[in-house]
């Protein structure tokens, strides 16, 4: 089965840039989607199809996907960005949705 690997945690100071990675075998050939989840809340889509932002998501959120790594980039990080972030792909070979293990973003 397809596996997505995320770092358990990322820490960044306010105003800096956070890069959250999602590793997978040839993930560059798949469409990657990203969600943030704050405690006690449902996940919210922040990036779809590698780099597109849903309406209402700030331009500070961007994505890229190449080779074996997809990256969610949050620029000018704010305290309110503290959350767990999950990547997700649809593994077409098995028709199974796969999530990464999640990354806890801490704003110092």
Partner 1 sequence: QVHLQESGPGLVKPSETLSLICSVSSGSLSDYFWSWIRQTPGKGLEWIGYVYSTGSTKYNPSLEGRLTLSVDTSKNQVSLRLRSVTTADTATYFCARHAYNTVYWFDPWGLGTLVTVSS
Do the Cβ atoms of 91 and 98 come closer than 8 Å? yes
- Residue 2 in contact with partner 1, rule: CB under 8 A: no
CA nearest 36: which of 17, 65, 58? Answer: 58
Scan residues 25-64 and list those touching partner 1 (CB under 8 A): 31, 33, 35, 41-45, 48-49, 54
**Closer residue to partner 1 in complex, CB, 17/97:** 97
Size of the site for partner 1 (CB under 8 A): 23
Do the Cβ atoms of 36 and 47 come closer than 8 Å? no
* HEC string for 76-99: CCCHHHCEEEEEEEEECCCCEEEE
- Residue 5 in contact with partner 1, rule: CB under 8 A: no
Encoding tokens for residue 27? 């993930």
Rounded to the nearest whole angstrom, what is the least distance from the CB of residue 16 to partner 1 in the complex?
26
Rounded to the nearest whole angstrom, what is the least distance from the CB of residue 11 to partner 1 in the complex?
19
Per CB under 8 A, residues contacting partner 1 are 31, 33, 35, 41-45, 48-49, 54, 86, 88, 90, 94-102
């Amino acid at each position: 089965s397809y596996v997505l690997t995320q770092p358990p945690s990322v820490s960044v100071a306010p105003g800096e840039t956070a890069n959250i990675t999602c590793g997978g075998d040839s993930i560059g050939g798949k469409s990657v989607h990203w969600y943030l989840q704050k405690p006690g809340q449902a996940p919210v889509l922040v990036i779809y199809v590698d780099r597109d932002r849903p309406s209402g998501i700030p331009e500070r959120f961007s994505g890229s996907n190449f080779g074996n790594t997809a990256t969610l980039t949050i620029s000018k990080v704010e305290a309110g960005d503290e959350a767990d972030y999950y990547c997700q792909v649809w593994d077409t070979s098995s028709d199974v949705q796969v999530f990464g293990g999640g990354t806890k973003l801490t704003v110092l």
